[in-house]
Structure 1
């Protein structure tokens, strides 16, 4: 097989071909990843049977670790959307903090809802609320959109059970509970920085210009936001349903750390805190509590979720195939060895590589799956916390959303912002959150003795 510096050339060519296929030729990400995986294996002169074996092994190992979680997470998100529990959370959050703190309400609501619901879908569902808030408060549209957009992308990239973070945890063999715990610690402060502080800055700049350039929908502006609350579940019930499976995972992980070996209770906590079991129980609880709010049958709700899950499964598995080929060919080891000359840590490398892939081809999920597939095997025995490397990879997938990202156009089209303001609200806002998350990760790496990191 090929060895030496030519491996880096092949790696660069492989990434370039992946980007070209997705961006220029609009090829489906699954097909692009599969094609580039085969091409890379052949180019490094791997035996053909090993190329085929690596692709199958990578796909299977990735899906073994994350397939159930992704499927159950998508079903849970569909249940919350169909029952309008996400609307109840947004309405309740706004009522508690008040219209004057609408940016805070939108940021937190967007962050919460995008834990199980895909970022694009969460943004589209919330936009009517944004318009109602704007009528009532006269806040600039760009500021409100920034709050909502930043909240949704931060959780989408950092918090399980969305596919990207789940794939990172699986590819890097992370303890899900520890990963979830630290992802919350990292993402919430960073999200508030982008969704509240930066959004307030955008609001100030927009008000300095005078009149908002975007037409205001007709309606009164008395500081009161009218919400359609007919047949909505309560905010408490909605939040409980959303957070219940995550709480099981966290409790299970904490118990595993605190209970002594041989404790009779430890196996029970480990069972119910297992990511697959916890999410399955969470889905069952969600159905039992929220099905009376469905407008269609439970079977139809689940069918809709599984249809949308198919492509996510394929992309996630193909990302694992590509990573397996990269590592099986020796490219991954040579890449890390070469970068070690420049004293770049795996944490920094994870953030940079994920950020480059995210900005170059647009998809957060593809960036996270690909980067974690490449770096996962390298973390073993390195002495670096795999949890922090995984979090850095996720942080790299948040910012630098450019017009090659479908999410960029979803936000622009559904909000009505022009491209310039979309860049301000979405691209810059998301990048602030990603960089802030990375800085927090670096700070955690300097604190000795933190539990669950190794």
Structure 2
């Protein structure tokens, strides 16, 4: 089948996935699986190959990220039930000072959302933000913008959050380099979309004197470190421990001689699954005096919370496997053989746009990231001059902004901040979109140094 017909078949299957999720509320797990069936059958693949391809794609995706997702959710659950989250906020405020409370709140969101799910983290922290707004006479809208953008940026870009894990696994990139560049790109994006834009909103007349006045019916929560809870510094260390281990393993494998004992050791502990397992065990033993649940209860809860994520992510891998079997990736690469310097930027922008459109269309960041990475993995497989890490991060950046009322996160912000819908759009939708576009600009700049910077090719 020619490239033109394959593109039409691909468009049909993709439209089915979108319409079935958005219009008919079909579960993304089923939608992605059926989309893969449609793609394979219309492309003329043997029926047995389509069936086997779906299973193989699902299995290979689980091999790459299944353990990582469960361990990451477990780490986040431990930090949540131990009280570490509020302590991190207190530590950040102590570090930055009252005058830079927006930065403290943004960094708190940025750090906490690495292991803790966005919705839970916002609900936990919004009362602290309300209290800080009242006591510091800081416009509430500025702090909510700083918090929500900080949360969504790492939710979309930094592992062990499920979406970025799925992208890194599907795209087959080195986890260590992915982690390093995700932080390089996401931190400035968080500060621009959260702190700078939040400060701009707070300067508007309609918000300038609103110091969380809508929360008179809610008891204030103190933002101060407590001896009865684990320290914020410990919480931050536990969040970054597996990240540091992965980065050490990645760098050591570059510097050490392959086959030596040191190389084998650092490659072992730097493995993403081993690093996160170490992080989870370290967290439990460090926090067990603050946690009533047993370790078995923590793991059981993590497995329960991870179920739907694993199902959707595996189905995205199955969909991607069928796309790969049709050969559309190789044909696209052949058609783009003449592209050189512009190919990297073109792919980065295309990945961002498609991810952003999918995010706006169906609401879920994770589904947008899983679907977009399934599309681009086979396309990039034969493009040696395009950085898969930068394209992967562009996919993640596309999942940050354009959150509309079809996104559950939109209503979490709306309900717990007591903004109206236009206000929620100004804070959440616009703030996230600014952060996503900032990340895209940084990625385009980095793509100009692909041959110079380590780990990008």
Q: TM-score, normalised by structure 1?
A: 0.93
User: Corresponding residue for 2:65?
Assistant: 66
User: Corresponding residue for 1:46?
Assistant: 45
| CA displacement at 1:302 relative to structure 2 | 2.2
User: Corresponding residue for 2:269?
Assistant: 272
CA distance, structure 2, for counterparts of residue 266 and residue 100 of structure 1: 47
Q: Structure 1: state its 5+ residue gaps.
A: none
| CA displacement at 1:73 relative to structure 2 | 0.5
Q: Kindly tell me: are residues 54 and 107 of structure 1, through their superposed partners in 2, closer, same or farther at Cα, counting changes over 3 Å? A: same
Match of 2:407 among 385, 399, 405: 405
| Preserved contact between residue 75 and residue 283 of structure 1 (Cα < 8 Å) | yes
User: Corresponding residue for 2:241?
Assistant: 244
| CA displacement at 1:350 relative to structure 2 | 1.6
Structure-to-structure mapping, 1:359-370, within 5 angstroms: 359-370=360-371
SS of the residue 2:403 aligns to = coil
Q: Kindly tell me: are residues 231 and 40 of structure 1, through their superposed partners in 2, closer, same or farther at Cα, counting changes over 3 Å? A: same
CA distance, structure 2, for counterparts of residue 209 and residue 346 of structure 1: 40
CA distance, structure 2, for counterparts of residue 328 and residue 44 of structure 1: 9
Q: Kindly tell me: are residues 213 and 277 of structure 1, through their superposed partners in 2, closer, same or farther at Cα, counting changes over 3 Å? A: closer
| Preserved contact between residue 169 and residue 176 of structure 1 (Cα < 8 Å) | yes
Q: Kindly tell me: are residues 210 and 279 of structure 1, through their superposed partners in 2, closer, same or farther at Cα, counting changes over 3 Å? A: closer
| CA displacement at 1:373 relative to structure 2 | 1.7
| Preserved contact between residue 135 and residue 217 of structure 1 (Cα < 8 Å) | no
User: Corresponding residue for 1:86?
Assistant: 85
Q: How big is each residue's C-alpha offset from its partner over 1:107-138, in whole Å with a ceiling of 9 and x where there is no partner? A: 10101011111111111111111111122123
User: Corresponding residue for 1:198?
Assistant: 197
CA distance, structure 1, for counterparts of residue 48 and residue 259 of structure 2: 45
| Preserved contact between residue 93 and residue 105 of structure 1 (Cα < 8 Å) | yes
Q: Does 1:283 align with 2:280?
A: yes
Deviates more, 1:422-431 or 1:224-233: 224-233
SS of the residue 2:394 aligns to = helix
| Preserved contact between residue 87 and residue 232 of structure 1 (Cα < 8 Å) | no
Match of 1:450 among 445, 449, 453: 453
Q: How many residues align?
A: 450
| CA displacement at 1:298 relative to structure 2 | 2.7
CA distance, structure 1, for counterparts of residue 13 and residue 261 of structure 2: 51
CA distance, structure 2, for counterparts of residue 193 and residue 340 of structure 1: 37
CA distance, structure 1, for counterparts of residue 338 and residue 368 of structure 2: 25
Q: Kindly tell me: are residues 232 and 11 of structure 1, through their superposed partners in 2, closer, same or farther at Cα, counting changes over 3 Å? A: same
CA distance, structure 2, for counterparts of residue 408 and residue 337 of structure 1: 41
Structure-to-structure mapping, 1:288-307, within 5 angstroms: 288-307=285-304
Deviates more, 1:276-285 or 1:32-41: 32-41
CA distance, structure 2, for counterparts of residue 297 and residue 213 of structure 1: 40
User: Corresponding residue for 2:441?
Assistant: 439
User: Corresponding residue for 1:378?
Assistant: 379
Q: TM-score, normalised by structure 2?
A: 0.93
CA distance, structure 1, for counterparts of residue 171 and residue 270 of structure 2: 19
| CA displacement at 1:324 relative to structure 2 | 1.3
Deviates more, 1:394-403 or 1:313-322: 394-403
Q: Kindly tell me: are residues 72 and 431 of structure 1, through their superposed partners in 2, closer, same or farther at Cα, counting changes over 3 Å? A: same
Deviates more, 1:258-267 or 1:247-256: 258-267
CA distance, structure 1, for counterparts of residue 373 and residue 127 of structure 2: 36
User: Corresponding residue for 2:108?
Assistant: 109
Match of 1:396 among 373, 377, 398: 398
Q: Does 1:162 align with 2:161?
A: yes
RMSD: 2.3
User: Corresponding residue for 1:212?
Assistant: 210
| CA displacement at 1:225 relative to structure 2 | 5.3
| CA displacement at 1:262 relative to structure 2 | 5.0
Q: Kindly tell me: are residues 87 and 266 of structure 1, through their superposed partners in 2, closer, same or farther at Cα, counting changes over 3 Å? A: same
SS of the residue 1:451 aligns to = coil
Q: How big is each residue's C-alpha offset from its partner over 1:156-181, in whole Å with a ceiling of 9 and x where there is no partner? A: 11111111111111111111111101
